[in-house]
Structure 1
Amino acid sequence: MNIIIKKIKITVFAIALTTCNYFHAQKNKPETELDIVFQNALQSKTFNGNVLVAKKGKIIYEKAFGQADASNSVSLNKDYRFHIGSIAKEFNAVGIMMLKEQGKLKLDDSVSKFLPELPSWANKIKVIHLLQYTSGLSQIKWNEVNQDSDNMAFLQKTSSLEFEPGTQYDYNNNNVFLQRRIIEKITNMSFNEFVLKKILKPIGIKNAIVDPDEKEPLFAKSFNKEGKQDILKYNISGWTALNLRDFYKWSEAINSFRIINQQSTRELFEPFSKNSQTGLGEGTIENGKVTNHIHDGAAFNYQALLISNPNLTIILMTNNKQNNLEEFSNSIESILTK
């Protein structure tokens, strides 16, 4: 652990400790206690972003803290959309399962069935391997890939896999890339259009944007701890940005099986091995209910965290990544479960 991250963790712990001492002296509503945590974090510059907390299906806290970009002149509000990093991979995973439920693919289908332009190794890779990150594909060449066509060209030139599909876990965005291309091939729609029209619109999400550019209004721009704003670039397409309410709608739709059924959701939660990620991050279903859904994501200086169970949902999104969202979620849980 480097010194900077240590300092951040110590600062967050100090904020939480100070807050808890205050709570011991004065009995406040949970909303007030949460506000103290995040107002202190804003003052100490350890959190810049948006927060939503729901308890047993009811939103009890929803606020924005800090700046929308590096100019320090535009304040965030609750309507701002954020890049959510790897959490956006949930949309292609859910899209694959939607098509499975419609009988348009099987998880045991080979990738070559849908993308015959790929080399012969695509015969070995099944759709389930893409969902569980066990395809054996090599990592994306981020320094050389500038758009989808570049990455497809690299895959077409790839002569062999790193390992036999289904035998090892490797968290790899080429698995995501091919899921999105399969969806496009089956639906005759761009993946971005499919997400907006076929996944999000039916569940009432109207404010989401896919691959927003820097001119997009109400889209938070990320910046580092020195105040330098990131240059926004999508080496591969298909990254959905959400605001707090739409993110919460998405989480609730997963939990209530509104988009895909219970069996499909269970399959997406099934990891290849212990502690490995799935298309939905990680989660469990017990007695017909989602009892746990956790997913974190990061890109540039964006970072997001979703924690959801029947009693509590926490959504944290920042455009000034400091690798401390878990500490804040722990503080929130401590306040609401004491």
Structure 2
Amino acid sequence: MKTILKFLILLLIFQNGFSQNLEARIDSLISSKFKSENPGAVFLAVKKGKVIYRKAFGMADLEMNVKMKPEFVFEIGSMTKQFTAVSILMLAERGKLKLDDEITRFIPDYPTHGNVITIHHLLTHTSGIKDFTSMKSIKDIAREDLSPKELVDFFKDQPMDFKPGEEYKYCNSGYALLGYIIEIVTGQAYEDFVVQNIFKKAGMENSYYASHDRIIKNRVSGYRDKSGYVNANYISFSIPYASGSIMSTVDDLLKWQNVLNGNLLLSPNYREKAFTNYKLNNGTNIDYGYGWHLEKVKSKTIREHGGSIFGFKSMGVYEPTDQICVVGLSNCECNSPTVITKEIASLLID
């Protein structure tokens, strides 16, 4: 009995020492990049349901001298694509659409240039449609409040970059189209569908479709570095729309991962469609599912996606075997949390 007790005490001491060492290593990674007087970041790391790390660094608002806190709300940019993809999968599971439906079923006048463009192509960035964020004329509409149809009309007449399925090329236009299709199918605004069918079901009480007008408690300010920190450029949230207009917290993004894993939004069959490594027409893997990149870390497949929008950078990583979730959110477009988030995940992977 004494031997067992000694073993348990030694194990507890070892685990405590390991935890403290891990925390110190993560602290060192983050503090070297996010200084206390500069725009900051929040990082959350969880393993098998246990919060390993949750800390804030730097400033949330330079003008008001507000320090960052872990519960603060950030714009998450293209991490929005996860919510759009799952919304499409929810509609597919309900029989409202099929993943191999041509987009002209929903937008009959969309110019496909003789090609068959499907919802699957939009989800996987293999449609060949030109990314509207790469168009020089985007500066002319960046501050305009457009309807989804007006946004689609902005880019729909552009020439195709390639035939559907022949290449993978990251495309915000595809996710704008998916948002528009969600609205056509449901008769609801994209914002309303996501709030009612995802945020409320997941208990994500601090997640929002972004707004410049709405008072959002604990919202952090966004910055850029222009020979010194300045406020982020203004953009109408109708432009990033379903490809990048969601705001959230690290805690809500953990809830998001938990409801996916718990099959509360999708059945296991439809959930796994989001995490399938799809192929081009020639059989080459694209290392992308529906709204998630799929990469290898220490021989294990991780699901990840980052985001970038004026004033903000974001990154989320999930490894299913060890149930590791790491999220990093930053309020300066000059300072991405991507590398640190991946490094933290690597430290936690067995």
The TM-score, its normalising length taken from structure 1, stands at 0.80
Residue 26 of structure 2 aligns with which residue? Answer: 34
Q: Does 1:256 align with 2:267?
A: no
* Cα separation, partners in 2 of 1:124 and 1:209, compared to 1, 3 Å: same
Q: Does 1:144 align with 2:169?
A: no
Q: CA deviation at 1:95?
A: 0.6
Q: Report the count of equivalent residues.
A: 308
* Cα separation, partners in 2 of 1:58 and 1:169, compared to 1, 3 Å: same
User: Which of 206, 229, 232 does residue 231 from structure 2 map onto?
Assistant: 229
Q: CA deviation at 1:178?
A: 0.7
Q: Does 1:52 align with 2:80?
A: no
Q: CA deviation at 1:39?
A: 4.3
CA contact (8 A) 2:37 2:59 kept: no
Q: CA deviation at 1:103?
A: 0.7
Distance 2:128 2:212 in 1: 32
Q: Does 1:321 align with 2:333?
A: yes
User: Which of 272, 276, 283 does residue 266 from structure 1 map onto?
Assistant: 272
CA contact (8 A) 1:111 1:122 kept: no
* Cα separation, partners in 2 of 1:34 and 1:169, compared to 1, 3 Å: closer
Q: CA deviation at 1:333?
A: 4.4
* Cα separation, partners in 2 of 1:105 and 1:67, compared to 1, 3 Å: same
* Cα separation, partners in 2 of 1:42 and 1:292, compared to 1, 3 Å: closer
* Cα separation, partners in 2 of 1:324 and 1:188, compared to 1, 3 Å: closer
1:1-52 deviation line (CA, Å, top 9, x unaligned) = xxxxxxxxxxxxxxxxxxxxxxxxx973533553454445444778711111
* Cα separation, partners in 2 of 1:71 and 1:246, compared to 1, 3 Å: same
CA contact (8 A) 2:39 2:60 kept: no
CA contact (8 A) 1:257 1:265 kept: yes
Distance 1:205 1:213 in 2: 20
1:88-144 deviation line (CA, Å, top 9, x unaligned) = 111111111000100111111111111224235487211111111111212214223
What does residue range 47-196 of structure 1 map to in structure 2 within 5 Å? 48-71=40-63, 73-119=65-111, 121=113, 124-140=116-132, 141=135, 142-145=138-141, 146=144, 147=146, 148-155=148-155, 158=157, 160-196=159-195
Q: Does 1:282 align with 2:293?
A: yes
Distance 1:321 1:208 in 2: 20
CA contact (8 A) 1:69 1:229 kept: no
Q: CA deviation at 1:267?
A: 2.1
Q: CA deviation at 1:193?
A: 0.7
Distance 1:143 1:293 in 2: 32
* Cα separation, partners in 2 of 1:40 and 1:152, compared to 1, 3 Å: closer
> How many percent identity over aligned positions?
26
Distance 1:115 1:76 in 2: 44
Q: CA deviation at 1:324?
A: 4.9
* Cα separation, partners in 2 of 1:174 and 1:63, compared to 1, 3 Å: same
CA contact (8 A) 2:39 2:331 kept: no
> Greater CA deviation, 232-241 or 194-203?
232-241
CA contact (8 A) 1:48 1:319 kept: yes
1:144-202 deviation line (CA, Å, top 9, x unaligned) = 3332343222345x175332222222211110011001110111100011011112211
Letter in 2 for 1:194: F
Distance 1:258 1:248 in 2: 14
Measured on the aligned residues, the alpha-carbon RMSD in Å equals 2.9
Q: CA deviation at 1:69?
A: 2.7
> Greater CA deviation, 199-208 or 186-195?
199-208
Letter in 2 for 1:217: K
CA contact (8 A) 1:69 1:223 kept: no
The TM-score, its normalising length taken from structure 2, stands at 0.78
Distance 2:342 2:182 in 1: 37
CA contact (8 A) 2:191 2:209 kept: yes
SS of the equivalent of 1:314 reads: strand
Q: CA deviation at 1:266?
A: 2.5
Residue 13 of structure 1 aligns with which residue? Answer: none
Residue 19 of structure 1 aligns with which residue? Answer: none
> Greater CA deviation, 144-153 or 291-300?
144-153
Residue 307 of structure 1 aligns with which residue? Answer: 317
Letter in 2 for 1:67: M
Residue 210 of structure 2 aligns with which residue? Answer: 211
